[in-house]
Amino acid sequence: MSIPHEEKRMVAVLMNPSEGGMFNNGLHQNGYFLYRLLQKIPNVHPFLSAPDSFIPKENQDVDNLLQCFGVPVVPMSFFREKYRCDVMICASFAVEPEDALPYKENGTKFVAPIWGHKYAMNTETAVFGRMVPKEKDPNRNFAAQGLLRRNPGILDALWISPHFTWTKQYIASTYNMPLGKTFTAPYIWDSELADIGMKAEPKFKTGEFTPYYRVGDATNKNIYTLEPNINVVKTGLVPFTIANHLHKESPDHFNHCYMFGGKMWEHNPHMIDLINNSSFSNGAGGTNNISFEYRTKLPAVFTMAKVQLAHHWNLGLNYTYLEAAHYHHPIVHNSEFMKDMGYYYRGAAVIDAASQLSMALRHEERQDLDEYNAHCDEVVHRFGINNEQNIRGYSTLIENLFTGESPRLPDYIEDLESDLAYGGGYFSPSHLPSSYLL
């Protein structure tokens, strides 16, 4: 590995470099996609990095570095001993203050991206306590990280994912960060990892199946849901209700509904009761036209079904939507960030959603499929790593660490920020003397 050009910003993305883990955890994908985007900024030299303890000894030599999809993974210690590091982005690892100190003394800026729903998970922790191990309680909640902030005292900025903008002041306060150093950053995705996964699927290798939506495919009449059911922001409850409503009205409208991530409901007596009293019940303790599966990788899912039925609660940006859009699936969803894509319903409007699902199951009858596919591609590009607005956004976020100049972010992020401005209520800050304000 050659020493990089010194005039560029040296930016390390600190993350778990496991290739297998990439397909199981969106957090790691976030970090990888950010690395790929940073490669497109002319004055930035990005690195994938990880704490030395996560890298095998034999891969801590500069001539034999661990590879992650062809990208060398640089041990974190290299940036203390061998290379300058201008910015260290704590993508999927926190750094303890004592470990960060040598880097801070050398001028390294530390950034924490907020890619998880900390508001929701902290709220669950406040009510239910920390996560209970699965072997002790299969109905555990997902509040795993506790309420104390990570990276205490070392951060120079927070970068918040757009769908958490409404929690910005809460996040800034809990991290003890000024609002002026707390930014909404572009949401990004790329098809690279999804395509790698699809090419490895045995059924797709032969050409017998395709991950893309194709007219006449038998799987076009099968529904899939991917909500993990590990906390309240992404559960299968509303998708189940939508599918049940449609099935009740027209039992033959679809062949099967696969609820991936719903297997844990076998341990939930409330869900068992709900399912047994639904239109899917066959009256003998079993169900028709629906199954509750373990979480399953997308290539296998796409061999079974092609109509995505999705729901979120304050988590409107989701890689599964973009993965489905990339393969031109009909998507029934309630993401306010993608109203112009697929078959949108608002909030928990399950009756409207059932009508949208009915149309999605007849998607191949549309006369404008080419236009639909092109529009899916446009929405994917909106959040893509090749989108110039996203590249500029991260370029200016990095420069902000050194110049303090306001970053130039995509228009939709500016709209999110303006929506959070104070209203005109009598006691709003615009009506108070400045001495009353913090």
Termini Cα distance of the chain: 50
Task: Name which residue leads in pLDDT, 146 or 138.
Answer: 146
Class of domain 192-382 as given by CATH = alpha beta
Residue 5 burial by Cβ neighbours in a 10 Å radius (0-12, 13-18, 19+): exposed
Mean pLDDT, residues 335-354 = 96
Contact 162, 317 (CB under 8 A): yes
Q: pLDDT averaged over the chain?
A: 89
Secondary structure (DSSP) of 240-281? HHHHHHHHHH-TTS-SEEEEET-GGGGG-HHHHHHHHTSTTB
> Tokens in use for 327?
């393969």
C-alpha 191/C-alpha 380 separation (Å) is: 9
* Whole-angstrom distance, CA of residue 179 vs CA of residue 183: 8
Return d(Cα 75, Cα 96) in angstroms, integer.
16
* Range(s) within the chain of domains with CATH label 3.40.50.2000: 192-382
Question: What whole-number distance in Å separates Cα of residue 25 and Cα of residue 113?
Answer: 15
In terms of pTM, does the model score above 0.85? yes
Pairing of β 66-68 and β 71-75: antiparallel
pLDDT tier, 82 (very low <50, low <70, confident <90, very high otherwise): confident
Residue 20, H or E segment: helix 19-22
- Class of the domain covering 9-184: alpha beta
Judge contact between 332 and 242, C-beta under 8 A: yes
pLDDT band at 431 (very low <50, low <70, confident <90, very high): low
Predicted confidence (pLDDT) at residue 393 exceeds the cutoff of 70: yes
Evaluate if residue 118 carries a pLDDT over 80. yes
Angstrom CA distances, 110 to 18, 91, 113, 138, 195, stand at 23, 11, 10, 37, 32
Angle between helix axes 26-38 and 192-200 (nearest 10 degrees) is 120
Three-state DSSP class for residue 166: helix
Position 231 scores a pLDDT of: 85
In tens, the pLDDT along 250-264 reads: 888 999 999 999 999
Asked whether 15 and 76 are in contact (CB, 8 A), the reply is: no
Question: How confident is the model at residue 207, as a pLDDT?
Answer: 78
- Annotate 360-402 with DSSP letters as a single string: HTTGGG-S-HHHHHHHHHHHHHHTBTT-HHHHHHHHHHHHHHH
- Look at residue 428 and tell me whether its pLDDT is greater than 70: no
Rounded to whole angstroms, the Cα distance separating 420 from 281 reads: 45
